[in-house]
Amino acid sequence: MSDNRLYAAIDNRKVAIIGAGYVGASIAYALTVKDLASEIVLIDTDEKKARGEAKDIQHGIPYMGTSSVRAGTYEDCRNCDLTIITAGRNRRYGESRLDMIADNITTMEDVVRDIKPYYTHGVILVVSNPVDILTYKCAEWMDLPNGRVLGTGCILDTSRLVRRIADYTGLNIEAVKCNIVGEHGDTQFPVWSRLAIAGVPMEEYCGNVGLAWGDEQKQMLYDQVRKMGEEIISAKEKTHYGIASCVCSLAAAVLNQRLTVAPVTSPLEGEYGLRDVSLSIPSIVGVNGVEHRLEEKWTEEERENLHRSGQLLKETLMTI
């Protein structure tokens, strides 16, 4: 099979989800509703829970889609077009994502060890946190072509920001284009210089419609976005629906061979002058994972912020 043909027939797409907790089960449910795969396999150390989640989803399929959803083992990673890793503990209230390294790096090492004997082809998507660190180590341990392993990175943060900007302008979210990049954590930042409304720079658009736009509005919107995760965790102890929807967007790009651009994390190879670290930057995602990372024209301050974010993650990687 050629390197570019990393998928089965369009009617025989197979997805494995490692981890049947709230995030993994929500992703399986979302994939089923969207009818993105013919076969979805839930794999978890708690086999009873995986079976229960699979049956619960499967029972509603006659009204939603045609996917086969079942529990399985790591042997089912064979011939998967997409393997999604959600295994690991959730972030606790008041905790940064980097605080989760000690627990989740061991889990990732175990998961990779169990996947490798059965991996044949396809993309590996890391959802577990800290996603930048785990994506980098997963890519290193799997030793696949660059881009084949990627992480969800800042895609959910970006989705939240786009929603808030749409609310502020009173427009549909489809009109808003803006990315949050860098570490999926405390050093991430919005690329304000690229924010556009229907292709029109934000400052120009706001000037035309008489809407205030400046540092005060930027800070207000981003402060709201930064608090969203903790607010949800404080209210219900976990977040899972939002990231499940974002994973569906990436899964559609991989499984349906429809290229999309998203701020996902993957090991950089010199983009923006960075390498040996995994960070979120706007990337073209397709059947081979990250097909290309885009180097946009950012301000000097934004480039410095990305290097600052990269340096923090490099220092963190050195401690593992």
Same domain, 203 and 285: yes
Whether 190 and 280 have beta carbons less than 8 Å apart is answered as: no
Query: Does the residue 104 lie in any domain?
Result: yes
What lies within 8 Å, CB to CB, of 114 at 6+ separation is 74
Cα separations (Å) of 283 from 4, 242, 264, 290, 307? 18, 20, 6, 6, 17
Same domain, 138 and 160: no
Same domain, 50 and 18: yes
**Quick one: average pLDDT of 58-81?**
88
What lies within 8 Å, CB to CB, of 227 at 6+ separation is none
Q: What gap in Å lies between CA 57 and CA 269, rounded to an integer? A: 40
Domain's final residue, options 89, 119, 151: 151
Query: Does the residue 9 lie in any domain?
Result: no
- The answer to whether residue 3 scores a pLDDT higher than 60 is no
Indicate if 184 belongs to the active site: yes
**DSSP state, 92?**
P
Locate the DSSP E strands across the chain: 14-18, 39-43, 68-71, 82-85, 123-126, 149-151, 176-177, 180-181, 189-190, 196-197, 200-201, 260-269, 275-286, 289-293
Q: What gap in Å lies between CA 17 and CA 295, rounded to an integer? A: 31
- The answer to whether residue 125 scores a pLDDT higher than 50 is yes
Same domain, 62 and 191: no
Same domain, 41 and 174: no
| Structural domains in the chain (count) | 2
- The answer to whether residue 175 scores a pLDDT higher than 50 is yes
Same domain, 63 and 100: yes
Locate the DSSP E strands across 215-300: 260-269, 275-286, 289-293
Same domain, 230 and 186: yes
**Tokens for 233?**
């965790």
**DSSP state, 90?**
P
What's the confidence (pLDDT) of residue 237? 81
Q: Residue 86, SS3? A: coil
Show the 3-state SS of 153-203: CCHHHHHHHHHHHHHHHCCCHHHEECCEEECCCCCCEECHHHCEECCEEHH
pLDDT digits (tens, 9 = 90+) for 283-317: 999 999 999 999 999 999 999 999 999 999 999 99
**Tokens for 37?**
């795969």
Q: What gap in Å lies between CA 307 and CA 272, rounded to an integer? A: 8
**Tokens for 313?**
């993650």
Same domain, 129 and 258: no
Instruction: Give the CA count within 13 Å in the CB-facing half-sphere of 275.
Output: 4
What's the confidence (pLDDT) of residue 231? 87
- Segments forming the whole domain that contains residue 109: 14-151
What's the confidence (pLDDT) of residue 46? 95
**Residue 292: CATH number of its domain:** 3.90.110.10
pLDDT digits (tens, 9 = 90+) for 228-274: 988 888 898 888 999 999 999 999 999 998 899 999 999 999 999 99
Same domain, 123 and 201: no
Q: What gap in Å lies between CA 196 and CA 308, rounded to an integer? A: 25
Which band of pLDDT confidence, cut at 50, 70 and 90, is reported for residue 179? very high
Same domain, 141 and 167: no
Paired residues of 84 in beta bridges = 17, 125
Catalytic residue among 59, 184, 292, 307: 184
Same domain, 197 and 67: no
Query: Does the residue 286 lie in any domain?
Result: yes
What's the confidence (pLDDT) of residue 95? 55
pLDDT digits (tens, 9 = 90+) for 74-116: 999 999 999 999 998 665 555 555 666 778 899 999 999 999 9
Whether 142 and 121 have beta carbons less than 8 Å apart is answered as: no
**Residue 39: CATH number of its domain:** 3.40.50.720
Query: Does the residue 1 lie in any domain?
Result: no
Whether 29 and 57 have beta carbons less than 8 Å apart is answered as: yes
Same domain, 244 and 267: yes
